[in-house]
């Protein structure tokens, strides 16, 4: 439940920030008449996300066991790929997110009336589909479906409340620190989903090695015990993984975490150089101060 809550919270905050930037910019340029179209696009994104979740939940029941395992393993790997991309994308584009979205709005305003609808649908739909797919993959890995769904919904509701508070100036929230550390946490969650997906493919005989565990931790983590339930629900932990699952988990964590921490280090150095004391070259620009306040800070 905690893992799905965090997924819902993180993705919800990303979507909330995007919506807030789009709405604020349309108001700034005096095109509030386009807000209805934007909300239509956002509504389409929400409907598509719910549809994806419904298909993932009930669609596989008509398939054979082997087909279900192949589908589950494949979608788990796709979910890992999407959340990995999301972690790196937010880490590298967070500081320029506001500028990029405003450029997209400017381009959409000059096009057909449907461009704003499409912008809203694509901007928010990506977050929604990622949430649906990754929550499903986490639930399929052994988390209690009802609790996992409640966790995701609570996370999204929390994100909505925080996003509203930020837009109204009621909440001060270190978004950079939040996205940085949740990124690290989600690397380990995604590694567990990857291991689960590999296990599904092994059960379907797509990958060999099922039924031959690399080691057993059942003496420490008893199956069905509290620790097993907690670790399984958050990290898709299994006390008797196969060698393919162990290798996949280790390689993913080592490679992705190293790249992610390296990116954070380079970003921190670039920020330090950017804010280094410089000789004043003229009067302060008030517009620049307002501009910087709408962006996500790029360092923790």
Contact 296/175 with Cβ under 8 angstroms? yes
Q: Classify residue 291: in a domain, yes or no.
A: no
Tell me how many domains the chain contains.
1
Q: Classify residue 286: in a domain, yes or no.
A: no
What is the 3-class SS of 232-293, one letter each residue? HHHHCCCCCCEHHHHHHHHHHHHHHHHHHHHHHHHHHHHHHHHCCCCCCCCCCCHHHHHHHH
Q: Classify residue 105: in a domain, yes or no.
A: yes
Q: Classify residue 175: in a domain, yes or no.
A: yes
The pLDDT of residue 298: 38
Tens digit of pLDDT at every position of the chain (300 positions):
677 787 888 888 888 888 888 888 888 888 888 889 889 998 998 898 888 877 776 666 667 778 888 888 888 898 889 889 888 887 776 667 778 888 888 888 777 778 888 888 888 887 888 788 877 777 665 556 677 778 888 888 888 888 888 777 776 767 777 788 888 888 998 898 899 899 999 999 999 998 889 999 988 888 778 787 778 777 888 899 999 999 999 999 999 999 999 988 887 787 777 766 654 544 444 333 333 334 444 333
Token duo for residue 151: 């966790």
- Regarding pTM above 0.75, the answer is no
Q: Classify residue 213: in a domain, yes or no.
A: yes
* Length of the chain measured in residues: 300
Q: Classify residue 39: in a domain, yes or no.
A: yes
Q: Classify residue 249: in a domain, yes or no.
A: yes
pLDDT tens, position by position, 48-80 = 888 887 777 666 666 777 888 888 888 889 888
Rounded CA-CA distance 198/74 in Å is 9
Q: Classify residue 68: in a domain, yes or no.
A: yes
Contact 1/150 with Cβ under 8 angstroms? yes
Give me the domain span that covers residue 245: 2-270
pLDDT tens, position by position, 198-236 = 999 999 999 999 888 999 998 888 877 878 777 877 788
The CA-based dihedral angle spanning residues 118, 90, 72, 235, taken in that order and rounded to the nearest 10 degrees: -150
Contact 82/134 with Cβ under 8 angstroms? yes
């Amino acid at each position: 439940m905690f893992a799905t809550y965090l997924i819902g919270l993180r993705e919800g905050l990303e979507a909330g920030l995007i919506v807030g930037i789009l709405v604020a910019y349309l108001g700034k340029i005096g095109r509030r008449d386009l807000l209805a179209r934007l909300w239509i696009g956002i509504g389409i994104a929400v409907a598509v996300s719910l549809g994806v979740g419904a298909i993932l939940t009930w669609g596989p029941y008509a398939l054979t066991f082997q087909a279900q395992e192949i589908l589950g393993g494949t979608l788990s790997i796709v979910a890992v790929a999407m959340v990995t991309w999301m972690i790196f994308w937010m880490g590298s584009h967070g500081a320029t997110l506001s500028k990029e979205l405003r450029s997209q709005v400017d381009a959409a305003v000059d096009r057909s009336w449907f461009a704003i609808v499409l912008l809203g649908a694509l901007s928010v739909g990506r977050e929604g589909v990622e949430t649906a797919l990754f929550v499903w993959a986490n639930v399929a890995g052994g988390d209690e479906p009802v609790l996992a769904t409640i966790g995701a919904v609570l996370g999204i509701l929390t994100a909505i409340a925080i996003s509203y508070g930020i837009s109204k100036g009621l909440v001060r929230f270190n978004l950079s620190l939040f996205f940085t550390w949740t990124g690290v946490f989600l690397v380990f969650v995604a590694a567990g989903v990857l291991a689960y997906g590999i296990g599904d493919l092994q059960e379907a005989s797509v990958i060999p090695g099922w039924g031959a565990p690399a080691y057993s931790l059942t003496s420490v983590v008893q199956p069905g015990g509290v620790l097993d339930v907690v670790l399984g629900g958050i990290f898709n932990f299994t006390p008797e993984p196969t060698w393919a699952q162990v290798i996949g988990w280790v390689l993913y964590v080592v490679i992705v975490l190293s790249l992610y921490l390296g990116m954070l280090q380079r970003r921190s150095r670039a920020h330090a150089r950017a804010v280094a004391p410089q000789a004043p070259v003229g009067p302060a620009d008030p517009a620049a101060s307002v501009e910087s306040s709408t962006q996500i800070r790029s360092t923790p």
